[in-house]
Amino acid sequence: MPLATTLRLLAKARGMSTADIATAIPRAGVATVSAWLQGEKLPGKDQLDALARTFGVPAGALLAELASTFDPARSQGEHDLLAAYRALNAKQQGALLEVASGMAGTKRTPARKAKP
């Protein structure tokens, strides 16, 4: 999940407005927080730490997705494909994996069903 989505969900869950968040974050005005929530800008390290404290979550929970966007081993196409995959439901994800495995000539391991 992109950082902006995570921040919006946390804000909604805690009933916080953009202004509420801006008040809690050093050197962040409403326009800056709004840009973070829209995915137009990324917060700096100190701001990420303050966001984590504000929302009561570990900074790592916010950083995990952010770190993956900087993975030098992934091309932009891989990032786009992963984002598209995550937007699909489970059935669609399975179908996409079938197509991709067929195109690549690789064998796909079927997903295991959960035990009742």
What domains appear along the chain, each with residue ranges and CATH number? 3-69 (1.10.260.40), 75-116 (no CATH)
| Mean pLDDT of all residues in 73-80 | 73
pLDDT tens profile 16-37? 999 999 999 988 899 999 999 9
Interatomic CA distance for residues 74 and 54, integer angstroms? 31
Summary mean pLDDT of the chain: 83
CA distances from 109 to 8, 38, 56, 112, 115 (A): 35, 37, 38, 9, 18
Residue 109: pLDDT band (50, 70, 90) is low
Token pair in block for residue 87: 């937007």
pLDDT tens profile 80-106? 787 788 888 999 988 988 998 888 888
Amino acid at the residue 96: L
User: With pLDDT > 90 as the criterion, what percentage of the chain qualifies?
Assistant: 28
69 and 79 Cβ atoms separated by less than 8 Å: yes
